[in-house]
């Protein structure tokens, strides 16, 4: 059983990732930290608490950064709705699970206190993780790996070449990619093939309580345009933790463009070694869509 910390901005695909991670018998979610991203910090934190209450799981939650390191904040409410999780009427959660510590201090404590190295799983902008690595570099000794959802070897979804989580806070992303920690980038190359179609969604509807909740969120995800498939971005990071065999992975050098005139926030993935730099990341370049679908459905069947 692998101890992990999930740093998240729920977010409809974050909600799905959290469901799968929290019900997996192979993952021990020690802490959930929240980060402004899909919507503002208060909303994403509330969403994390709503989900935990819905799942009846008692994982501590710590609030992270309410804005990027340098850039002005952006959001993705066009995709996830103004609440960040439009489509389901959640019960109002209490604040019982909310820690007094902020995300950075809570991560520091959980990592340093853990007997086994912790895997960090950021599925939102990387502000909290960058702050953690700068404030408490000693955590690096007890981090097993960072498995992040973000980036792309090619085109983007927030800019021509930039993926949302990296584009939202490129300076933070650069710090994380330059951290020298074992790092896995699970980005758009695989997210764009991890698709849920209307017929899959109909199966979720009658699967269990969680499946039904996700089905309802899907009616609002990206304005409900499901015909071409809904992208399960954040769930691919969890898939990598649990079933890496479904991915094609390449060891390579990745950096983040900060000053491009058109490409700021893009991950420069040097697959052909033009830059002559040592590898600093494993990049998921492809995924078996059938294996993903099977894993996705089987994982959600384990939920309540
Ligand atoms: C990422 O952006 C967010 O909107 C999603 O939750 C995911 O983490 C995909 O680019
Ligand atoms: Ca996310």
CB burial of residue 212 (10 Å; 0-12, 13-18, 19+): middle
pLDDT band of 228, cuts 50, 70, 90: confident
Mean pLDDT in the chain?
97
| Inter-residue contact 257 to 292 (CB < 8 Å) | no
Beta carbons within 10 angstroms of residue 134's beta carbon? 13
Residue 222 has pLDDT above 90, yes or no: no
- Chain segment 49-100, per-residue pLDDT in tens: 999 999 999 999 999 999 999 999 999 999 989 999 999 999 999 999 999 9
pLDDT at 224 over 90: no
Reference 6, options 84, 103, 92, 120; nearest CA is: 120
Interval between CA 147 and ligand 1 midpoint (Å): 14
**Residue 149, ligand 1, Cβ within 6 A:** yes
| Mutate-to-test residue for ligand 1 from 12, 47, 76, 83, highest number of ligand atoms within 8 A of CB | 76
SS3 254: strand
- Residue 273: partners with Cβ closer than 8 Å, 6 or more residues away: 252, 253
Q: What was the pLDDT predicted at 223?
A: 77
User: Which ligand 1 atom lies nearest to the CA of residue 12?
Assistant: 6
Please answer whether residues 118 and 110 qualify as being in contact, where contact means their C-beta atoms are separated by less than 8 angstroms.
yes
pLDDT digits (tens, 9 = 90+) for 118-155: 999 999 999 999 999 999 999 999 999 999 999 999 99
CB-ligand 1 contact for 217 (6 Å cutoff): no
Q: Is the pLDDT of residue 175 over 90?
A: yes
CA-168 nearest atom, ligand 1: 2
| 193: pLDDT strictly greater than 80 | yes
Ligand nearest to the CA of 6: 2
Ligand 1 contact via 190 beta carbon (within 6 Å): no
């Amino acid at each position: 059983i692998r101890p992990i910390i999930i740093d998240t901005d729920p977010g409809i695909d974050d909600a799905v990732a959290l469901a799968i991670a929290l019900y997996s018998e192979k993952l021990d979610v020690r802490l959930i930290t929240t980060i402004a991203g899909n919507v503002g910090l208060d909303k994403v934190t509330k969403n994390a608490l709503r989900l935990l209450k819905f799942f009846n799981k008692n994982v501590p939650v710590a609030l992270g950064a309410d804005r990027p390191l340098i850039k002005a904040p952006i959001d993705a409410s066009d995709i996830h709705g103004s609440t960040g999780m439009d489509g389901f009427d959640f019960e109002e959660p209490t604040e019982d699970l909310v820690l007094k510590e902020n995300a950075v201090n809570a991560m520091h404590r959980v990592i340093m206190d853990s007997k086994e190295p912790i895997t960090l799983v950021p599925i939102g902008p990387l502000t909290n993780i960058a702050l953690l690595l700068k404030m408490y570099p000693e955590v690096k000794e007890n981090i097993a790996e960072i498995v992040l959802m973000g980036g792309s070897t090619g085109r983007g979804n927030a800019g021509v070449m930039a993926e949302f989580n990296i584009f939202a806070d490129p300076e933070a992303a650069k710090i994380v990619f330059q951290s020298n920690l074992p790092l896995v980038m699970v980005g758009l190359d695989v997210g764009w093939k991890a698709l849920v179609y209307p017929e899959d969604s109909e199966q979720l509807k009658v699967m269990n309580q969680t499946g039904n909740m996700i089905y309802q969120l899907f009616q609002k995800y990206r304005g409900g345009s499901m015909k071409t498939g809904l992208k399960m971005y954040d769930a691919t990071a969890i898939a990598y933790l649990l079933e890496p065999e479904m991915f094609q992975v390449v060891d390579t050098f990745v950096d983040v463009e900060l000053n491009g005139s058109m490409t700021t926030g893009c991950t420069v993935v040097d697959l052909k070694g033009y830059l002559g730099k040592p590898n600093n990341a494993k990049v998921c370049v492809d995924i078996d869509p059938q294996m993903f679908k099977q894993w996705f459905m089987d994982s959600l069947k384990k939920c309540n």
